[in-house]
């Protein structure tokens, strides 16, 4: 009998799989690649919400876990996926500079916001008011990570590449069974696909569509991530990833003309050189209105668990939330009440 069946092999699913395997648990991952949000994600990690100059929830703890997690993954897969790069916030006014310095004096933000202006000029970007630097930042190449990790799972007969059939799941008192495969627990890590899950589809998981570009800009000289209304991330060979839009109505993964126009306009606000759009992607992020993940156990079926709602910060949240869920199941360590699925179940009683 397996320890875990895991539904989904995005950032949430592989994070839980890796933590379980590290703890000598047996797993089988089932995925049909229908959910693309992890694959097309920007992959940035940033401990500060720059729009509001506030600290990301439990940022310091998540960064420590994340560093260890991806270092182990890189050793295991013999592939570099975590790239540390400064994030520079381009200022558009003296007022923005002042707001930055005020934020950098706050105790929770001081470890993450440099109090020194960056005066460097990058060809292709006008920056009369200079930049502020966010510390402990970078990006994870999520597409490469998922490709390599799924290949690892396949080579070790740990991945079943098919659509999960919910009506084929048999729930017994001490184990679950799926098409003859028995496991002590099952983890649903399906992202926005949760809406097709009859066990958890009544939870308030929203979807926020994001669209991104890969652009080619031969004249743009950039070796850092620039973040304003969008981010510009250098990929090498004059290629840059640019994103992202936020659409709360469209729940499809298809790129749109509206998203294209919005991104194009925002790019032109930042750079002053020519560029061409090489690729255009879309994906629906699994988001929750209270801005917290949904983690925990079904209110009736104690062997069914959920790992979802990682939203826009999946590369930071994935390892930490997977560890929390694993410790909750294996060691009965209580979940933080702000992420526990019980916060929704309690409202129904």
Give me the helices (H) in 127-286, please: 142-155, 257-270
Structure tokens at 114: 């440099």
Helix (H, G, I), strand (E, B) or coil at 281: strand
Res 349: pLDDT: 54
Phi, psi angle pair for 113, to nearest 5°: -120, 120
pTM strictly above 0.85 = yes
Res 333: pLDDT: 97
Res 40: pLDDT: 81
Residues 6+ apart with CB under 8 A from 265: none
**Calpha distance 289→337 (Å, rounded):** 15
- CB–CB of 113/135 below 8 Å? yes
Res 37: pLDDT: 80
Question: In this structure, what DSSP letter does residue 58 have?
Answer: T
**Calpha distance 19→75 (Å, rounded):** 15
Q: End-to-end distance of the chain based on CA atoms, in angstroms?
A: 35
In the chain, what are the domains? 2-45+143-204+290-348 (3.50.50.60), 86-137+206-287 (3.30.9.10)
The 10 Å CB-count burial string (b at 16+, else e) for 319-334 is bbbbbbbbebbeeeee
Burial of 128 (0-12, 13-18, 19+ CB in 10 A): exposed
Element (H or E) spanning 159, and its range? strand 159-160
- According to DSSP, the residues that pair with 45 across neighbouring strands are 138
Q: What is the pLDDT along the chain (349 residues), one digit of tens a residue?
A: 999 999 999 999 999 999 999 999 999 999 998 887 888 888 999 999 988 888 899 999 999 999 999 999 999 999 999 999 999 999 999 999 999 999 999 999 999 999 999 999 999 999 999 999 999 999 999 999 999 999 999 999 999 999 999 999 999 999 999 999 999 999 999 999 999 999 999 999 988 999 999 999 999 999 999 998 899 999 999 999 999 999 989 999 999 999 999 999 999 999 999 999 999 999 999 999 888 999 999 999 999 999 999 988 999 999 999 999 999 999 999 999 999 999 998 766 5
């Amino acid at each position: 009998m397996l320890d875990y069946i895991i539904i989904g092999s995005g950032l949430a699913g592989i994070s839980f799989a890796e933590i379980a395997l590290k703890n000598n648990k047996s797993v089988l991952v089932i995925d049909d690649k229908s959910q693309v949000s992890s694959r097309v994600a920007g992959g940035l990690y940033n401990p500060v919400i720059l729009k509001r100059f506030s600290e990301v929830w439990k940022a310091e703890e998540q960064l420590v876990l994340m560093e260890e997690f991806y270092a182990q993954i890189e050793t295991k897969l013999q592939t570099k996926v975590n790239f540390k790069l400064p994030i520079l916030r381009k200022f558009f006014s003296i007022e923005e500079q002042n707001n930055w310095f005020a934020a950098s004096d706050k105790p929770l933000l001081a470890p993450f916001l440099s109090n020194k202006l960056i005066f460097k000029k990058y060809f292709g970007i006008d920056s009369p008011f200079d930049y502020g630097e966010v510390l402990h930042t970078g990006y994870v190449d999520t597409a490469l990570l998922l490709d390599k990790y799924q290949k690892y799972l396949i080579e070790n007969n740990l991945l079943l590449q098919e659509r999960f059939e919910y009506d084929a799941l048999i729930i017994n008192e001490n184990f679950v069974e799926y098409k003859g495969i028995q496991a002590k627990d099952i983890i649903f890590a399906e992202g926005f696909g949760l809406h097709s899950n009859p066990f958890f589809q009544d939870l308030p998981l929203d979807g926020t569509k994001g669209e991104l570009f890969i652009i080619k800009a031969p004249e743009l000289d950039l070796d850092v991530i620039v973040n304003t209304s969008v981010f510009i991330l250098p990929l090498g060979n004059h290629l840059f990833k640019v994103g992202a839009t936020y659409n709360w109505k469209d729940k499809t993964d298809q790129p749109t003309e509206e998203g294209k126009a919005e991104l194009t306009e925002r790019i032109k606000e930042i750079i002053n050189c020519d560029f061409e759009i090489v690729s255009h992607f879309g994906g629906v992020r699994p988001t929750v209105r209270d801005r917290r993940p949904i983690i925990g156990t079904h209110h009736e079926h104690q062997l069914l668990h959920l790992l979802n709602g990682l939203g826009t910060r999946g590369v930071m949240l994935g390892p930490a939330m997977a560890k929390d869920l694993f410790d909750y199941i294996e060691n009965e360590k209580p979940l933080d009440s702000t992420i526990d699925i019980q916060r929704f179940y309690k409202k129904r009683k």
